Amino acid sequence: MSAHIDSFLDYLRLERAYSPRTVQSYGMDLNEFEAYLRRTDAELTLETVDADNVRNWTMEMMEAGQKETSVNRRLSALRSFYRYLLRKGVIKVSPMQTVKGPKKKKPLPMFLREEEMNRLLDETDFGEGFEGERDRLIIEMFYETGMRRAELVGLNEADVDFYRGQIKVTGKRNKQRLIPFGEELGSALRLYMEEKAQEVPETEDGALFVQKSGRRVTDAWVYTMVRRNLSRVTTIKKRSPHVLRHTFATTMLNHDAELEAVKELLGHESVSTTEIYTHTTFEELKNAYSKAHPRARK
C-alpha cells in the first residue's frame, strides 16, 4: 500500500473520525485503483495519473459488470483522496477534476397489459350503486387519460365538458391542459354523476370524485383503492395510480400514437421525459420477437 494511502486513511480515522468499516472500504477502493495502475503501466503512480487513466479504470469496471453505484462509490473515494493530496501539496491538479461517474440507469416504468386492463374494467365487479361506479370510473379515468393522482383528486364537475368531450386538468405549477375522452368514458362519467346526484346531494366545492359524506376523495384513499383493485388482475410489485399513467402512455405508443401527442396528454414539459415509454414499447417488441421468431430462441 502506498504511503500516501496510509496517510490518507490515518487522516480519515483520526481527524475525520470515520468508522473503521468506512476507512476499510476507502482503503480497498484505493488499493484496487493502485493495482489497476500497476497492471496497465508500471511507470504510473498515484501522483502521476491523469483523468484518462481514471476513465479507463471506470470503463474496465463497467465492462466487468460492476453496478453504477459501486463504480461511483470507488470514484468518490478517489475524489476524497486527491482532494487530500491537493491540500498536502503532493499534487497541483486533481485528475478527478473532469471525471464524471456513470449515470445510474433508470428502471423502466411498470405497466399493466391491455388484457389485464380489459379484465379489470370489463369483468370485475366493483359493486352496485354510486361507490361501485366511482371506483371503476377512477381506474378507467387514469387508464384513458393518463392524468396524475393529484390531478384526478382536484377535478371538479365543471371541468368535464361533455359537449366537446374533454376534461380540463390542473397539473404541476397550476398549469392547465385539456384531455379528450371517448364515448365509453363519457357514458361512465354520466352514469356516475347521475348516481352521485341521488346519493350525495351536496359535495365539497363541486368536487367530481367524493366519498358518501360529500367530501372530496384524498390522495391516500385513491392510492389504496387503486392498489386493491389492481391486485385482482396483476402481480407486479407496484400497483399504484402512477402505474396506470404508465399504462396509458405505453398503450398509446403501442397503438402508434405520436410521441409529441403523448407528451402533451401527459403534461410533460419536455419530450425527453416521455421518451422513457419508447424504451418500454421496444422491450415489448423484443419480448414478442424472442417468443415468436423461430431463430430468436437459438
Per-residue pLDDT of the chain (298 residues; tens, 9 = 90+): 688 899 999 999 999 899 999 999 999 999 999 999 988 888 888 999 999 999 999 999 988 888 888 999 999 999 999 999 999 999 999 999 888 888 876 666 788 988 999 999 999 999 888 999 999 999 999 999 999 999 999 999 999 999 999 999 998 888 999 999 999 999 999 999 999 999 987 888 899 999 999 999 999 999 999 999 999 999 888 899 999 999 999 888 888 888 888 888 998 888 877 877 776 665 555 565 566 545 555 4
Give the full edge-to-edge strand order of the sheet including 166-170.
160-161, 166-170, 176-180
Cell of 23: 476507512
Cα–Cα distance list, 222 to 47, 123, 137, 248 (Å): 58, 21, 12, 17
**114-292 carries CATH number 1.20.1300.10:** no
| pLDDT score, position 225 | 97
Domain positions in the chain? 3-88, 114-292
Torsion of CA 217, 219, 221, 223, to 10 degrees: 140
Complete DSSP assignment for 82-147: HHHHHHHTS-SS-TTTT--PPPPPPPPPP---HHHHHHHHHH----SHHHHHHHHHHHHHHHHH--
| pLDDT score, position 243 | 93
Kindly list the catalytic residues.
148, 172, 242, 245, 268, 277
| pLDDT score, position 229 | 95
| pLDDT score, position 110 | 85
Beta 176-180 vs 160-161: how paired, if at all?
A: unpaired
Is 112:251 a contact under the CB 8 Å cutoff? no
Cα–Cα distance list, 165 to 83, 182, 187 (Å): 61, 7, 11
d(C-alpha 174, C-alpha 36), whole Å: 53
Is 26:13 a contact under the CB 8 Å cutoff? no
d(C-alpha 100, C-alpha 51), whole Å: 10
| pLDDT score, position 190 | 95
The burial of 62, by beta-carbon neighbours within 10 Å (0-12 exposed, 13-18 middle, 19 or more buried), is given as middle
Domains 3-88 and 114-292 share a fold: no
| pLDDT score, position 24 | 93
* Listed residue (57, 56, 51, 50) closest to 30, CA to CA: 57
Domain 3-88 is of which CATH architecture? Answer: Orthogonal Bundle (1.10)
Structure pTM? 0.64
Instruction: Give buried/exposed letters for 279-292 (b at 16+ CB in 10 A, else e).
Output: ebbeeeeeeeeeee
Is 72:102 a contact under the CB 8 Å cutoff? yes
